[in-house]
Structure 1
């Protein structure tokens, strides 16, 4: 998770020239026609698109993004030939990404009229190692850019690929990429119907692909290149996993609504159940929430999840704001250094040079005052790609889908697997359901159901405060210190929130308004005149886990896990275990704490990728850290069970 250097480019107009690989990115003479022939036509992409069913996804993976030419050629065809319900997931790896300046010049020269140009530049990621998700055309196209060496990052990809674009600088110019290990990983991620093409007919590449397991053929090349290679999945590869037809999601907050939408976009009929009378009435019910992450110097799972969750959510919001302008604003976030200790921490973070300036920047108190449009006497960090979101409005948008059927004021009272039908039986106060897939997104209430009683979830009370904007400064950015405040929504400011581990009362308390105001005025003195008695507010409950990471994935059978991993009580390093039993089709997406706006969207995508066997927006090593069964193993090692 390091800050990367950009590609070293010279402009030999009209083509960019790579000084790193001593080669052009594409030929002035027929470069686009060559790409069209090698990757679009040779993979029979039009035929593949026409064979897709409604709501079906097509996954294309590419080994070198470069200037994005293959992506823009592919999406041009996709937008003209696919159905509105179908989705293209384009995954591309890049070791040396173009800088924003160079990519802007490429777009202006090569793709000035492309429908995705403006949205692509708005979402183009910072030069930060890892996974970056971009969203286009109302969900019809998703681009996952994975920055880093493909031989390091491809082994972390999980899920099957339908078409491979084996592209990049030639084997003679970039021999480090064209390795047997690359071809083996590509084969691992392929299925029986996977197709592959590449512009080179090199003997080493041909033999490497065959040795990996692909059926390889020499095909007619393009332009000056007489030959190229095409391939398809070899013997022994399985068919793609079938997509379930129906699922039930319990909980209509951020986690549940994002999960329901991700399922529906796969063509899965979703029944969304919530015990409250309307959507987002629990911890997701605040009028506004800050979209930001507090980054750490250490590369921990939580800091990595929060960074890429923030960038994921920000791009997702960016893709919606044109049609949903009241959803939020990417106005930036100021994270103020309210103590000497915090100021020292921020200084060390900046000195470490871990993060791109597109992610965070140091600001003085004067600069912070200018950004916020109100007096600030403390320095801090500014996150230009962050902002605020209305969680309730976001949830309403998410469930507005023809395949989502919402049921409110309905509480799940029992959950049991029925072996005779291989389905889950759900009993509520209003009736019974049967389904093959159940996903619990009901925060700490998840523990009420028998198969999930062991999950270590804790409810933490928080009270936010609201006041009219009259007589107060016109705040222009989100300000975070020990609490947060967002720019006004509907002539009202929302700020807070308290953090109470022991009091679970739902009562609005004046002392909590006073605490929120004291926290606010300590960083924004122009807000010190607010009368606590004029505050409105609400109480919500964050759902937290012991390691502050959410629980995302399939739930194991508790007794089977304890029995299978019992040896961990005496040998924490023991690895030779049998596979424990899982509650087949039972999943959770809970425990997001106060970070739900940046972890719920990406976690929902991860969860649905697990269910459908498709690539996820996070590396496998990080997905494993979200495993909901991890605390059983921890407690065995610590002899707590």
Structure 2
């Protein structure tokens, strides 16, 4: 189980209570007034964020989401134009969306904000869960795990903190001295902290961690509450980049445009051939995670990205979704035990991934494997267009960049033009990365893949993967793909089609025989792969960034990785766990020079 059961019930007075801790979720007098007085007022909101383009909030104890709905409302009413609120909230005892909706229904004045939360409410899984509210300039990351794990995995850098767990007397683990010390490592000097409790060991723990505390009159039956400020020299956050250049109009670049627009950033967007001209331009694509039996940081990263991508596509471009549910068939004898371990991983909601047995899948009656119930298959082009949201693509082949004496960069095109200036440049150009001078420093490999589309009288019931894959289309299906390293050729090859047909025939003999004579519509494209099969996301020089190596998982990974990269560029807390940042760093792939 991913998060623990709070044993929630609604008492006769209608208030939600935790049977596990024997405590209420909010004041019986008026939970919203309590939230505004203790937490928003205790952190001096909205004054504390006036004049800031970005503000980061840490909350321990997400609960019903009431505090977050209240702070989102206040932020939306008072923020500077284009400013963005970044929230990290921890919850180890997640209630259901149904229970949260019942609890929040008491405050119709928060209706838009509570409905926004409920529409993106997480499932029962362990990991980081992401919610976007671009209409209010808010991003929310939920750490669905024990508080110490969540704090250690979060990069930190909060401007304010709410401590709103259950009572210290009933849930002392959340208020331990080690937790308070961890909080101190996750806030900026000058950060404000608010909590409802004045328990002695909490006050002493905060003081020992470096907070200056003050008691203030409490709310309702509570006589006092705490406000605190983290000591230290306040450092002004660097100004946001005035303008970014994003190069590459595949899924990586389009996801970056979407996230940049949500943050209110000014951008120019370049590609040599137009939107979806490269590997992201196939007729159909799968949104599936990499499946690792180790239940480690890598599997958690892919599970988090998978959950976020599916949520985003369902909200942003439902018309692009062809279908839902992918069968991952066993390909080797060891897959049976491997799939059992994967199906039990806490990073996936139990209802999202389950085992299937022989005879349960009509398309592959002899097969066993995993059903990824929420995996999508979709049409890439409308996804890319939806992510761009009308952003124009400048058609130009970018061959490099030049530093400007006054700061920033100009881009250099193949026609010799200098384009810009830009404060930061992001290369998300897929295969085009190999044409950039800096790419030679990193161990990156091109991989050619060819796919086939064919008509068929018997439609597939589901998308399938077995080493190859097949995706249902109207009147037929797409299948493939070949995998040729160090090959940048994009011409259609009969030999590759034969290999795809052979793979299909082994997985589905009758279907393979029926469509063997075609006709086929084939397409070949080039992806970028790394030696550890993980993407590359980060800086390759001051103000110069790269996002590549997504390989066959682009539509799964790109939305989250784009969010993470842009957080680093504007100097706000990363949305990725700390370990994931190092796993994806370009520096891990730097080639060792021989002298």
By the TM > 0.5 criterion, same fold? yes
1:494 and 2:452 correspond:
no
Q: Is the 8 A contact 2:6 2:21 kept in 1?
A: no
Equivalent in the alignment of 2:195: 198
User: Structure 2 residue aligned with 1:364, among 357, 363, 366?
Assistant: 357
Partner in structure 2 of residue 334 of structure 1: 327
CA 191–87 in structure 1, closer or farther in 2 if over 3 Å, else same: same
1:38 equivalent to 2:38? Answer yes
Residue correspondences, number: 588
Partners of 2:343 and 2:255 in 1: how far apart? 33
1:42-441 equivalent positions in 2, closer than 5 A: 42-47=42-47, 51=50, 56-78=53-75, 86-98=83-95, 100=96, 103-111=97-105, 114-115=111-112, 120-121=117-118, 123-136=120-133, 140-191=137-188, 194-276=191-273, 278-320=274-316, 324-328=317-321, 331-350=324-343, 355-369=348-362, 374=363, 376-400=365-389, 405-408=392-395, 410-418=396-404, 420-430=405-415, 431-433=417-419, 434-441=421-428
- Residues 2-38 of structure 1 show CA distances to partners (whole Å, capped at 9, x for unaligned) of 8444333344342333233232223444334322321
Q: Check conservation: 2:64, 2:103, Cα contact below 8 A.
A: no
Alpha-carbon offset, residue 150 of structure 1: 1.8
Cα separation, 1, equivalents of 2:117 and 2:323:
16
The alignment partner of 1:547 has SS state of coil
User: Where do 5+ consecutive residues of structure 2 fail to align?
Assistant: none
Residues 423 and 436, structure 1, Cα contact 8 Å, conserved in 2: yes
For the 8 Å contact 1:376–1:525, the answer to whether it is kept is no
Distance in 2 separating the partners of 1:81 and 1:532: 65
- Residue 493 of structure 2 corresponds to 509
**Tell me, which stretches of 5 or more residues in structure 1 are unaligned?**
556-582
Q: What TM-score does the superposition give when structure 1 sets the normalisation length?
A: 0.84
1:389-432 deviation per Cα after TM superposition (whole angstroms, max 9, x unaligned) = 3333222222235xx55211x222333334x3232232112410
Are residue 481 (structure 1) and residue 474 (structure 2) matched? no
Distance in 2 (CA, whole Å) between partners of 1:292 and 1:44 is 43
Give the RMSD, CA atoms, in angstroms: 2.9
Do the aligned partners of 2:450 and 2:523 also contact (CA within 8 Å) in 1? yes
Question: Per-residue deviation at 1:163?
Answer: 2.6
| CA spacing shift, 1:597–1:202, aligned 2, 3 Å | same
- Of the three residues 459, 471, 475, the one matched with 2:446 is 459
Mapped to 2, the partners of 1:602 and 1:549 lie a distance apart of 14
Deviations 1:83-113 (A, max 9, x none): 8955443321012223x3xx41331343386
- Kindly provide the CA deviation profile for residues 412-467 of structure 1, in whole angstroms up to 9, marking residues without a partner as x: 2333334x323223211241033221111122432433333211111111111123
CA distance in 2, matches of 1:603, 1:350: 25
TM-score by length of 2: 0.90
Instruction: Choose the corresponding residue for 2:584, options 622, 626, 630.
Output: 626
Structure 1 residue 616, shift from structure 2 partner: 1.9
Decide whether the 8 Å contact of 1:258 with 1:398 is kept in 2: yes
